[in-house]
Amino acid sequence: MYELFFQKLNEKVAFTNEEQKVITGYLTSKKLRKKQYLLQAGDVCKAIAFVEKGAMREYSVDESGAEHILQFALEGWLISDLYSFMTGEPATYNIDALEDCDLVLLTKSAQGELLKKVPKFETYTTAQITGAYLAMQKRVNAMISLTPGQRYLYFINLYPNIARRVPQHMIASYLGLSPETLSRIRKRLAAAQ
Amino acid sequence: MYELFFQKLNEKVAFTNEEQKVITGYLTSKKLRKKQYLLQAGDVCKAIAFVEKGAMREYSVDESGAEHILQFALEGWLISDLYSFMTGEPATYNIDALEDCDLVLLTKSAQGELLKKVPKFETYTTAQITGAYLAMQKRVNAMISLTPGQRYLYFINLYPNIARRVPQHMIASYLGLSPETLSRIRKRLAAAQ
DNA sequence: CGATTTTTTGAATCATATCAACGTACGTGG
DNA sequence: CCACGTACGTTGATATGATTCAAAAAATCG
């Protein structure tokens, strides 16, 4: 149970079998069918989700109704509206399943309890969020310093498995491009080789 | 000494006077003149800097020599190349002073010691980095979902004091625009009101 | 005051967005 | 298993917006 979760957990911080048993008690599992929501903007994000299997996305919707993908999450990744989770404010982002998913959930209240019982879990949390921050910073740097074509190459190089499993127009959304533009960029890149 | 630093610190997590004395022992102060480097790409980032007074910026330089500003830091903000600081790898970003600055430094080794003596300091670190992550995420969302003009308005609304103190072409760099484009956007916005 | 930095403006070029249409692949239900 | 409908990717034409290069005006600093 939760094999991948504990594998990834122990990669960051080593936990004893005892601790892992305690942690297990605070986790719940959830299955999601393709296209189902885990979270809708306006609702409160009550849990952080770890993807054991499948693919998820997090996105915002602007005034004109267009979706903008902020984040993908494949196996081994965490996903949530962290601001909503931490503050209890309504979420600004939506999260749904791009494929049928097996998730491991850690609810807000479970997290509170867990941090008391297994203080080391905070170290894991810090490591996790630090990694997320650094990745986000790199993405910002790519957005202000690279051309769309370079950004696309950077993306498929960094996340080849996302590129394989996710529709192209969603990658365009993630990169801040129209689907047509990404299609033409790919054509240009293919011709250049 | 370090008044603003401790003020900001206690806003996140309350520390006793005892603890604050211990923390003080691990801090060092540094003055930087305008245009001086705190860190150059290629060097290892040996300290996290807290800005007591002044203004700093963090930026990357691309192959063609153009600078791209990743982050500003005014009074009360932290700045560092976090990846380099954590791993000891050479920094990819430069940090320099936009005004004469008073800084408070926490070196890598001091941080290690401090976390042992005052474990609560890790809670502060987590809070700090979580805030930084959420800000970065909002910025990414703005970049993929707003027009340059909207992004500029968002920026000056969120950071009016940065907009007041920093040259306009640096704000253009932060927003991923050419200085000429930002100038014209401002003209359009002024005409529209 | 002189020198440097910063901002603005203009003109030409280049790139992206948009709108529309088409072809294709996919999966779902009959 | 086929047929239909939906989702996806590509292509074209056009319009819009950003970049670039150059120059001048304005502001700032010593």
Local confidence pLDDT in tens for the 193 residues of chain B: 899 999 999 999 999 999 999 999 999 999 999 999 999 999 999 999 999 999 999 999 998 899 999 999 999 999 999 999 999 999 999 999 999 999 999 999 999 999 999 999 988 999 999 999 999 999 999 999 999 999 999 999 999 999 999 999 999 999 999 999 999 999 999 887 6
Nucleic strand D under 7 Å from the C-beta of A183: yes
- For residues B81 and A134, the answer to whether their CB atoms sit within 8 Å is no
Q: Å between A172 CA and C20 C1'?
A: 20
Pick out chain A residues at pLDDT < 50.
Answer: none
Specify the pLDDT at position A191: 84
Specify the pLDDT at position B193: 67
Inter-chain residue contact B143 with A143, CB threshold 8 Å: yes
Q: Å between A150 CA and D4 C1'?
A: 40
Specify the pLDDT at position B191: 84
Q: What is the pTM of this model?
A: 0.94
The structure tokens 């931490």 sit at A86
Do the bridges between strand B56-61 and strand B94-97 make them parallel or antiparallel, or are there none, so unpaired?
A: antiparallel
- Residues in B touching A123 (Cβ below 8 Å): 122
- In Å, how far is B84's CA from the nearest CA of chain A? 11
Identify which of A62, A69, A141 has the shortest CB distance to residue B70: A141
Inter-chain residue contact A174 with B144, CB threshold 8 Å: yes
Q: Give the C-alpha separation, A166 to A175, whole Å.
A: 13
Q: Give the residue from B140, B35, B139 showing the smallest Cα distance to B95.
A: B35
Specify the pLDDT at position A1: 82
Specify the pLDDT at position A193: 67
- For residues B164 and B131, the answer to whether their CB atoms sit within 8 Å is no
Residue type, A160: P
Structure tokens at A143: 């957005």
- For residues B57 and B96, the answer to whether their CB atoms sit within 8 Å is yes
Mutant choice from B69, B140, B150, B182 vs A, greatest count of A C-beta within 10 A: B140
Specify the pLDDT at position A22: 96
Structure tokens at A37: 């929501």
CB atoms within 10 A of CB A155: 18
- For residues A38 and A91, the answer to whether their CB atoms sit within 8 Å is no
CB atoms within 10 A of CB B72: 23
The structure tokens 């008690």 sit at A25
